A and B are shown apart, each in its own frame.
Chain A
Amino acid sequence: MISRRSLLKQLGVSSAVLPFLGNLPSFAAAATTPRKRLVIVFSPDGVVKKNFWPTEPGPFGDTPLPAILEPFTPFRDQLLTLEGVHNRIAGDGDGHMRGIGCLLTGIELFPGNIQGGSDTPAGWASGLSIDQELKNFFQSNQATATRFGSLEFGVLVPDRADTWTRMVYAGPNKPIAPIDDPYQMYAKLYGQVKDRENMQSVLDDLQEELASVASRLPAEDRRILEEHTQLVREFEQELAAPRETIPHQVPVLEQDVVDENDEMPRISRMQIELLVASLAADFTRVATLQYTNSVGQPRFRWLDISEGQHDLSHEPNSNEEAQEKLTKINAWYASEIAFLAKRLAETPEPGGEGSMLDNTTILWTNELGEGNSHTHDNIPWVFLGGGLGLKTGRAMRVEGGGHHNRLLLSIAHAMGHTSLERFGNPDYCGEGPLTGLS
Chain B
Amino acid sequence: MLFRSFTTRGAAGVILAVVLTASVTTEGSESDGEAIYREHCQSCHGEGGAGSDASPNPLVGDRSVSQLTSYIADTMPEGEPEAIVGADARAVAAYIHATFYSPIAQDRLRPAREELSRLTVRQHRHVLADLLGSFERPTWNLTDERGLQASYYKGRNHDRRQLVFERVDPMVNFDFGLEGPDPELFEPGRFAIRWVGSLVPFETGEYEFIVRTAHSAKLTVNGGWEDQPLIDAYVKSGNDTEYRGRVFLLGGRTYPLRLEFSKANQGVNNEDREVPTNASIELAWKPPHGVEETIPEHCLLPLQSPSVYVATTPFPPDDRSIGYERGTRISKAWFDAVSQVALETAGHVLEQVDRLAGCKRDDPERREKLQRFAGIFAERAFRRPLNDELTQRVIQQPFAEAPDLDAALTRSIYLTLTSPRFLFRSLPDEAQQGDAYDTAARLSFGLWDSLPDEPLSKAAASGKLASDAEILEQAERMLRDRRSRAKLHDFLISWLGVDQPPELLKDASQFPEFTPRIAASMRTSLHLQLDHLLTDATSGRASDFRRLLTAPEVFLDGPLGAFYGVDVPNARAYRPVTLDDGQRAGVLTHPYLLSLRAYTDDTSPIHRGVFLTRNMLGNVLKPPPEAVTPLAADLHPDLTTRERVDLQTAPVGCQSCHAMINPLGFSLENFDAVGRYRREEQAGQATRPVDASGSYVPRDGDLVTFDGGRELARFLAASPDCHEAFVEDLFHALAKQPTRAWGEDTLPALQQRFAENSYDFRMLVVDSMKVIARPAADHSSRVAVSLGETR
8 A Cβ contacts from A244-289 to B: 255-256
Q: Are B232 and A201 in contact (CB under 8 A)?
A: no
Contacts A8-B347, A234-B332 hold; do A124 and B238 have CB atoms under 8 A apart?
yes
Chain B 399-415 interface mask (CB, 8 Å, partner A; 1/0): 00110100100110011
Q: Are B215 and A113 in contact (CB under 8 A)?
A: yes
Q: A58 to chain B: closest CB distance in Å?
A: 43
Complex-state Cα separation, A235 to B361, whole angstroms:
34
Q: Are B267 and A114 in contact (CB under 8 A)?
A: yes
Q: Which of B238, B344, B394, B404 lies in contact with A123, CB distance below 8 A?
A: B238
Q: A233 to chain B: closest CB distance in Å?
A: 11
Q: B344 to chain A: closest CB distance in Å?
A: 6
Q: Is A241 an interface residue (CB 8 A)?
A: no
Q: Are A205 and B397 in contact (CB under 8 A)?
A: yes
Contacts A173-B238, A224-B116, A232-B335 hold; do A117 and B268 have CB atoms under 8 A apart?
yes
8 A Cβ contacts from A90-112 to B: 94, 109-112
Q: Which of A4, A110, A115, A173 lies in contact with B267, CB distance below 8 A?
A: A115
Q: Is A17 an interface residue (CB 8 A)?
A: yes
Q: Are B402 and A206 in contact (CB under 8 A)?
A: no
Complex-state Cα separation, A228 to B402, whole angstroms:
25
Q: Is A32 an interface residue (CB 8 A)?
A: no
Q: Is B67 an interface residue (CB 8 A)?
A: no
**Which stretch from A213-221, A314-322, A381-389 is at the chain B interface?**
A213-221
Q: Is A210 an interface residue (CB 8 A)?
A: yes
Complex-state Cα separation, A123 to B347, whole angstroms:
35
Q: Which residues of B contact A214 (CB under 8 A)?
A: 420
Chain B 77-120 interface mask (CB, 8 Å, partner A; 1/0): 00000000000000000000000000000000000010110100
**Which stretch from A67-75, A141-149, A192-200 is at the chain B interface?**
A192-200
Q: Which residues of A contact B393 (CB under 8 A)?
A: 205, 208-209
Q: Are A115 and B268 in contact (CB under 8 A)?
A: yes
Q: Which residues of A contact B404 (CB under 8 A)?
A: 255
Q: A97 to chain B: closest CB distance in Å?
A: 8
Q: Which of A5, A109, A164, A234 lies in contact with B351, CB distance below 8 A?
A: A5
Chain B residue nearest to A210 (CB atoms) is: B420
Chain B residue nearest to A227 (CB atoms) is: B330
Q: Are A4 and B350 in contact (CB under 8 A)?
A: yes
Q: Is A66 an interface residue (CB 8 A)?
A: no
Q: Which residues of B contact A393 (CB under 8 A)?
A: none
Q: Is A121 an interface residue (CB 8 A)?
A: yes
Q: Which residues of A contact B348 (CB under 8 A)?
A: 4-5
Q: Is B662 an interface residue (CB 8 A)?
A: no
Chain B residue nearest to A239 (CB atoms) is: B339
Q: A159 to chain B: closest CB distance in Å?
A: 9
Q: Which residues of B contact A198 (CB under 8 A)?
A: 343, 346, 402, 407, 410-411, 414
Contacts A198-B411, A198-B414, A201-B401 hold; do A113 and B427 have CB atoms under 8 A apart?
no
Q: Is A29 an interface residue (CB 8 A)?
A: no
Q: Which residues of A contact B411 (CB under 8 A)?
A: 198, 201-202
Q: Are B335 and A256 in contact (CB under 8 A)?
A: no
Q: Are B414 and A202 in contact (CB under 8 A)?
A: yes
Q: Is A116 an interface residue (CB 8 A)?
A: yes
Q: Are A213 and B330 in contact (CB under 8 A)?
A: no
Q: Which residues of A contact B116 (CB under 8 A)?
A: 217, 220-221, 224-225
Q: Are A173 and B237 in contact (CB under 8 A)?
A: yes
Q: Is A16 an interface residue (CB 8 A)?
A: yes
Q: Is B328 an interface residue (CB 8 A)?
A: yes
Q: Is A2 an interface residue (CB 8 A)?
A: yes
Q: Is B8 an interface residue (CB 8 A)?
A: no
Chain A residue nearest to B393 (CB atoms) is: A205
Contacts A17-B339, A224-B328, A256-B362 hold; do A8 and B420 have CB atoms under 8 A apart?
no
Q: Is A13 an interface residue (CB 8 A)?
A: yes
Q: Is A435 an interface residue (CB 8 A)?
A: no
Q: Are A231 and B335 in contact (CB under 8 A)?
A: yes
Q: Is A3 an interface residue (CB 8 A)?
A: yes
Q: Are A209 and B419 in contact (CB under 8 A)?
A: yes
Q: A193 to chain B: closest CB distance in Å?
A: 12
Q: Which residues of B contact A313 (CB under 8 A)?
A: none
Q: Which residues of B contact A110 (CB under 8 A)?
A: 237-239
Q: Which residues of B contact A373 (CB under 8 A)?
A: none
Chain A 116-160 interface mask (CB, 8 Å, partner B; 1/0): 110011111010000000000000000000000000000000001
Contacts A5-B348, A198-B407, A206-B415 hold; do A17 and B340 have CB atoms under 8 A apart?
yes
Q: Which of B118, B236, B361 lies in contact with A113, CB distance below 8 A?
A: B236
Q: Which residues of A contact B265 (CB under 8 A)?
A: 113-115, 121
Contacts A112-B236, A201-B411, A209-B421 hold; do A235 and B335 have CB atoms under 8 A apart?
yes
Complex-state Cα separation, A111 to B239, whole angstroms:
8
Q: Which residues of B contact A221 (CB under 8 A)?
A: 115-116, 428
Q: Which of B351, B401, B418 lies in contact with A2, CB distance below 8 A?
A: B351
Q: Are A113 and B235 in contact (CB under 8 A)?
A: yes
Max count, chain B CB within 10 A of own CB: residue among A18, A202, A210, A218:
A202
Q: B590 to chain A: closest CB distance in Å?
A: 38
Q: Are A216 and B429 in contact (CB under 8 A)?
A: yes
Q: Is A6 an interface residue (CB 8 A)?
A: yes
Complex-state Cα separation, A120 to B228, whole angstroms:
28
Contacts A17-B336, A115-B267, A221-B116 hold; do A161 and B343 have CB atoms under 8 A apart?
no
Complex-state Cα separation, A213 to B390, whole angstroms:
11
Q: Is A26 an interface residue (CB 8 A)?
A: no
Q: Are B420 and A228 in contact (CB under 8 A)?
A: yes
Q: A142 to chain B: closest CB distance in Å?
A: 28
Q: A6 to chain B: closest CB distance in Å?
A: 6
Q: Which of A160, A163, A225, A256 lies in contact with B361, CB distance below 8 A?
A: A256
Q: Is B564 an interface residue (CB 8 A)?
A: no
Complex-state Cα separation, A210 to B427, whole angstroms:
11
Q: Are A199 and B215 in contact (CB under 8 A)?
A: no
Q: Are B268 and A116 in contact (CB under 8 A)?
A: yes
Complex-state Cα separation, A309 to B552, whole angstroms:
73
8 A Cβ contacts from A1-49 to B: 2-9, 13-14, 16-18
Q: A398 to chain B: closest CB distance in Å?
A: 32
Q: Is A307 an interface residue (CB 8 A)?
A: no
Complex-state Cα separation, A8 to B312, whole angstroms:
9
Q: Is A432 an interface residue (CB 8 A)?
A: no
Max count, chain A CB within 10 A of own CB: residue among B329, B340, B401:
B340
Q: Is A348 an interface residue (CB 8 A)?
A: no
Q: B432 to chain A: closest CB distance in Å?
A: 9
Q: B98 to chain A: closest CB distance in Å?
A: 27
Complex-state Cα separation, A227 to B330, whole angstroms:
8
Q: Which residues of A contact B428 (CB under 8 A)?
A: 216-218, 221
Q: B407 to chain A: closest CB distance in Å?
A: 6
Contacts A17-B340, A116-B267, A209-B420 hold; do A126 and B238 have CB atoms under 8 A apart?
yes
Q: Which residues of B contact A121 (CB under 8 A)?
A: 265, 267, 273
Complex-state Cα separation, A227 to B116, whole angstroms:
13
Q: A295 to chain B: closest CB distance in Å?
A: 10
Complex-state Cα separation, A256 to B216, whole angstroms:
35
Q: Is A59 an interface residue (CB 8 A)?
A: no
Q: Is B313 an interface residue (CB 8 A)?
A: yes
Complex-state Cα separation, A94 to B332, whole angstroms:
57
Q: Which of B234, B273, B389, B415 lies in contact with A202, CB distance below 8 A?
A: B415
Q: Are A231 and B340 in contact (CB under 8 A)?
A: no
Chain A residue nearest to B328 (CB atoms) is: A224
Contacts A113-B215, A120-B273 hold; do A5 and B347 have CB atoms under 8 A apart?
yes
Query: 20 more A-B contacts (CB under 8 A) besides A13-B340, A17-B340, A228-B330?
Result: A2-B350, A4-B347, A16-B343, A17-B336, A17-B343, A110-B239, A113-B264, A114-B235, A116-B267, A123-B236, A173-B237, A198-B343, A198-B410, A213-B421, A213-B427, A216-B428, A217-B428, A224-B118, A231-B332, A235-B336
Q: Which 7 pairs of residues, A with B, have the shortest CB-CB distance?
A: A123-B237, A110-B238, A221-B116, A113-B236, A115-B265, A4-B347, A124-B237
Can you list 23 pairs linking A and B with CB atoms under 8 Å apart? A4-B351, A5-B348, A5-B351, A6-B228, A14-B340, A17-B343, A113-B215, A113-B264, A115-B267, A116-B267, A121-B265, A121-B273, A122-B237, A197-B407, A202-B398, A206-B415, A208-B393, A213-B420, A217-B116, A220-B113, A221-B428, A225-B116, A235-B339
